[in-house]
Chains A and B, each alone.
Chain A
Amino acid sequence: MIKLTGIIVIAAGFALRLNTLLVVLLSGIVTGLVSGMSFNAIMEEFGRLFLTNRYMTLPVVMMLPVVGLLERYGLRERAETLIRRSAAATAGRVLLLYTGVRQVSIALGINIGGHAGAVRPLLAPLAEGAARVRYGNLSKAMVERIRAHAAAAENVGNFFGEDIFIAVGSILLMKGFFEGLKIDVSIWTMALWGIPTAVAAFALMAWRTHALDRHLDREAAHAAEAAKPTDT
């Protein structure tokens, strides 16, 4: 049981909002100490594992210069033009389209998007804009609802697309884990079995974005009704 102290360290560290890297290292040190390793032995083991797992970071680092170069010459702006041209009329449809594009692109290994990179500057304004065309002015509650779903669209698209791409951290982590246990597992098989859940996630997102549009319809109707008696 004492071996589970490391897990308690993680839970406590997150609850206290400590730096994640620090929490992870502390948990490793505590786990090593309670299972009888010396501090140097823990550092050695942590260092060895850190080095063998460099391949997780490698693709990200290798892509940054070319992505940065393309951004400098207007990649984001061009993508913006494309998204605007194909944006459908409702907030829900804009978000669903984004989830689909995000899932497909990240499944191909292209990590476009992100909360800071796409949701705030692009997706949330587009979805709110689509709703404004339909309902006129939006209440605070409506805006908040659209924004929450915009963040959800990014998370769902990101999580349930990436496991289809073989060079992504999670698939490689699984491969490395099984290699350590001398179990031979094909990365292609693991990627393939990510597809059913990806499809289900998109279907669920279609249901959620449809519900969002209906909810906005009702909220707008209520607001209109509330405004009526004062008019007459």
Chain B
Amino acid sequence: MSLVSLNSFYILAGAFILATALRVVLDKGHTRRWSTALFWGLLGVSFVFGGSMPPMVTGYLVLGMTILAASGRVAVSRERSTGREERLKSAERLGDRLFWPALLIPATAIVGSLLLGRIHWHGISLVDSSYLSVISVCIGAVLALALGFRLTRAPAGAAVGEGSRLLQAVGWALILPQALAALGGLFARAGVGTVVAGLVERALPTQYSFVAVAAYCLGMMLFTICLGNAFAAFAVITGGIGVPLIVQAHGGNPAIMAAIGMLSGYCGTLLTPMAANFNLVPVMLLEMEDKNAVIKAQVPIGLALFAFNLLLMELCVYRF
């Protein structure tokens, strides 16, 4: 039993997402007013009521959100912010104090992660200790918001308005990590990792521990290149190669394996056009001619860093 649970912040975040949906509804000039509001409404509902909602209903909510996003029916509304002149003036006035709330979030996160888990009375803990770091960040965000209001003396609605402007700028991509994690879970349940592991085991002499490390790191990089996303590759390759071969067969350290394995995946992200938001969007944004210019600039770093990761894992994963 705990006083501050993850669910309380889900409800708070959900309320903010629902407020964004309401702001979209009130924006009469919005070309995709109802479908955009519906998207944020569905997401808000999954946050506020997710704790007590049947999972199948959520599944269909996600299906609905996906159809809205894929058919281009989720668009940004015209949230008004301050003009550049005004911002320069207030930046001048507030100076470096503007950084204080921004720094309060990581500070609270670190202090909270170290201390909050130890506070409890008669079996009732202050916070749910299994999600300590996430809860600490959320507490930090709330405290920073309070400090931000104190410093700027902003009107109460400003945070919701500016926040929903940013939320809409992120758009449907906001739920992509959640969807990819769910896909990884489905892959795991269907046994995709086992099939991949079977292929690797048949093809490679994995009784040698360094072959297991090489297969895992290379698998993370190649899968990331194919999928464009290291998160999606992580569940498949770690479930299929990392855990059975490095951890179970050769007794490697799972934390070291996972940390360096994920970073090997990131080396793949530097090399692939599938990671469009990192490698292709900037080409458009910076008005460059060669579509592959960013990837070309990143190839030497991606390959050298991959070699470094491979060596580091081989040297450390069986020793610590």
Tell me the A residues contacting B by CB distance below 8 Å.
Answer: 1, 3-4, 6-7, 10-11, 14, 17-22, 24-25, 27-28, 31-32, 34-35, 37, 40, 42-51, 53-78, 81, 108-110, 115-116, 119-120, 124, 144-145, 147-152, 154-156, 158-160, 163, 165-167, 169-170, 172-174, 176-178, 180-181, 183, 185-187, 189-194, 196-197, 200-201, 204-205, 208
Contact = CB atoms under 8 A, between A and B. Distances in A.
A61 B164 CA distance: 9
Contacts of A28: 182-183, 186
Contacts of B308: 197, 200
A174 B262 contact: yes
B134 interface: yes
Contacts of A17: 276
Interface in B123-151: 131, 133-134, 136-138, 141-142, 144-145, 148-149, 151
Contacts of A148: 288, 290, 293-294, 296-297
Contacts of A169: 177, 231
Nearest to B235: A177
A10 B278 CA distance: 18
B91 A78 contact: yes
B200 interface: no
B177 A73 contact: no
Nearest to B163: A65
A109 B109 contact: yes
B61 interface: yes
A67 B278 CA distance: 22
B60 interface: yes
A54 B12 CA distance: 13
Contact of B46 (A50, A63, A116): A50
A72 B87 contact: yes
Which of B137, B226, B259 gathers most chain A CB within 10 Å?
B259
B210 interface: no
A18 to B, nearest CB: 7
Nearest to A48: B55
Given A62-B137, A180-B188, A174 B234 contact: yes
Contacts, number: 410
B204 interface: no
Contacts of A67: 102, 163, 166
Given A155-B270, A197-B308, A73 B152 contact: yes
Interface in B164-193: 164-167, 170, 172-192
Contact of B141 (A53, A59, A173): A59
Given A10-B227, A148-B293, A204-B305, A160 B266 contact: yes
Contacts of A68: 159, 161-166
Q: Which of A77, A192, A205 is packed against the most chain B CB atoms within 10 Å?
A: A77
A184 B11 CA distance: 28
